[in-house]
Amino acid sequence: MYAIVDIETTGGYAANHRITEIAIYHHDGMQVTDSFHTLINPGRNIPYYITGLTGITSEMVFSAPSFEAIAKDIFARLDGKVFVAHNAHFDYSFLKKEFESVGINWQSKKLCTVRLSRKIIPGLRSYSLGSLAESLGIAITNRHRAGGDAAATVRIFDQLLQRDRESHIIKALKRNSGETILPPNLPKEQFDKLPAKCGVYYFHDAHGKVIYVGKAINIKKRIAGHFTGDSREWSKSKIRNEIHHISYELTGNELIALILESQEIRKLWPKYNQAQKYRVEEWGIYDYEDRNGYLRFSVNMVTRGSRPLKRFSSKGDAWNYLWEKVRTYDLCPKLCGLQVAKGLCFNYQTGECCGACMNVESPAKYNKKIEEAIQSFYVTGSTVAIIGKGRNVEEQSLVLVEKGNYLGYGFFDNNVSISDIDAARNFVRKSAETPTVQNLINSYITNPRGAEIITFAN
């Protein structure tokens, strides 16, 4: 027995919205045997844009029963039935959340008429309820209302039952089919071919545009986690309906997966990546020559197109770094932008500055110390190769860091020996250093997590 369902709601995701209307049709595989329909008081005002779509107003549901009041009746109508809906995940997630709120544990086998239609009636322009009904010659009365949409879904399901020559419905109901967890527009064949390996994966919309980038130790397991609702943030987005294709790139290990994920998000700017979507604030140390001929430092935010001598994740880190250089190379803190006092800097008064701030120390002598300090910016870090697992048993991975700065990553055959920095450079794909990537590198150098660290002479 099937329960063909449609609901209307106060918004697009179950975590923060409520049901306002429900229609249920019982179907025995041959015909409709029973039906049920009611408005539901969601206990909150219905947003104007929802009223504009459905025609349901807050006044209309004021005297309607709450879900709690009719939960047992609805449960009795769904219990033991195969749950059928157009884009079944949407309706199912709302009902499950409503049942949980009143202490009812409800689970059901599911059939999605979007996914079934793609298999049984392939080649249509669109599989939205309106377009699919039009393609099949089904007129929808009372569109965007639970009763009208559920009645149309019944007629669509009738046709799917009649046309299902390859038993797609029976296959979808098998316990391990995976059909019930997948987004409505994603071919199951693509999901089945996903590797259980480490890498970066991409979700594409109907036009091929990347809308989400993620990394995983096990790509297939991670993606399945998205679809089963284990990722809380996904319950608040419409991404499921937009996923039409999945692609991926194997990386062999987590470090390269993290690096590639970060770089791809910054390059592609996918609409559903939130954590790294916003540009990270960076601070940099810059040098310039003043009108008296003294080379000076300043600490400012890094902007597009600017070329700092060195980058930092915070202004405090940049200042602390500069103070170390002031002490090491006897620099003037005022000319380094660390003090703003008028006249002589505080350090000159204590004997720690040679007086460049008041022309006591000549530009030629002071600038030589500045140049030595600048040179030290580039030799403070180690030159290392981080060797890890490759994409297959015949290769290894390589992440190259030169004088403390990330250079790139690549792969090389097991029979190749990485003996020096020049040999290592031949295998890496150069890519941009970002604060996120640099933090990842520093973390792995400190804690290799099974990787091998090879140190080269600077």
CATH number of the CATH domain containing 212? 3.40.1440.10
Residue 390 inside a domain? The answer is yes
Domain boundary among 156, 181, 206: 181
C-alpha–C-alpha distance, residues 402 and 405, integer Å: 5
Residues 248 and 111 in one domain: no
Task: Indicate if 74 and 217 belong to the same structural domain.
Answer: no
Same domain, 10 and 141: yes
pLDDT of residue 153: 97
Tell me what percent of the residues of the chain surpass a pLDDT of 90.
Answer: 64
Q: Any idea what the CATH number is for the domain that residue 121 is in? A: 3.30.420.10
- Note the pLDDT of residue 448: 83
In a domain, 9, yes or no: yes
Q: What is the mean pLDDT of residues 81-97?
A: 94
Pair 345, 213 in one domain: no
Looking at the fold, whether 11 and 123 belong to one and the same domain comes out as yes
Same domain, 244 and 134: no
Contacts 24+ apart (CB under 8 A), 60-66: 61/20, 61/21, 64/38, 64/39, 64/40, 65/38, 65/40, 65/41, 66/40, 66/41
Look up the domain containing 291 and give its range. 283-376
What's the rounded Cα separation, in Å, for the pair 261 and 453? 22
- Asked, for residue 105, whether it belongs to a domain, the answer is yes
Q: How many domains does the chain have?
A: 4
Q: Do residue 305 and residue 262 come from a single domain?
A: no
Band of the pLDDT at 237, cuts 50, 70, 90? low
275 belongs to a structural domain: no
Confidence (pLDDT) at 44: 95
- Does residue 274 lie in a domain region? no
Q: 278-332: per-residue pLDDT in tens?
A: 555 678 899 999 999 999 999 999 887 788 888 776 788 789 889 999 999 999 9
Residue 455 has what pLDDT? 87
Residue 73: the pLDDT is: 97
**Considering 181, 209, 242, which residue would you say is the last residue of a domain?**
181
On whether residue 116 sits in a domain, the answer given is: yes
Pair 40, 96 in one domain: yes
Residue 277 forms part of a structural domain: no
Q: Is residue 122 part of a domain?
A: yes
Give the mean pLDDT of the chain: 89
Q: Do both 306 and 157 map to the same domain?
A: no
Alpha helices of 140-242 — where are they, by DSSP H?
Answer: 146-163, 168-173, 188-192, 219-227, 239-242
| Higher-scoring residue by pLDDT: 441, 48 | 48
Query: CA–CA separation, 401 vs 438, rounded Å?
Result: 10
3-state secondary structure 231-300: CHHHHHCCHHHHCCEEEEEECCCHHHHHHHHHHHHHHHCCCCCCCCCCCCCCEEEEEEECCCCCEEEEEE
Whether the CB-CB separation of 411 and 396 falls below 8 Å is answered with yes
Confidence tier at 417 by pLDDT (50, 70, 90): confident
Per-residue pLDDT of 141-154, as tens digits, reads 999 999 999 999 99
Kindly state the average pLDDT of the residues 440-448: 77
Res. 375: pLDDT tops 80: yes
Query: Looking at 356, 376, 396, which one is the last position of a domain?
Result: 376
Asked if 174 and 299 sit in the same domain, the reply is no
- Which structure tokens are listed for 177? 């089919």
Q: Are residues 200 and 89 in the same domain?
A: no
Rounded to an integer, the average pLDDT of 391-401 is: 94
pLDDT at 230: 47
Residue 334 CA to residue 341 CA, distance in Å, equals 7
Residue 457: what pLDDT?
77
The pLDDT confidence band at residue 275, using thresholds 50, 70 and 90, is: low
Position with higher pLDDT, 91 vs 342? 91
Shared domain check, 217 and 264: yes
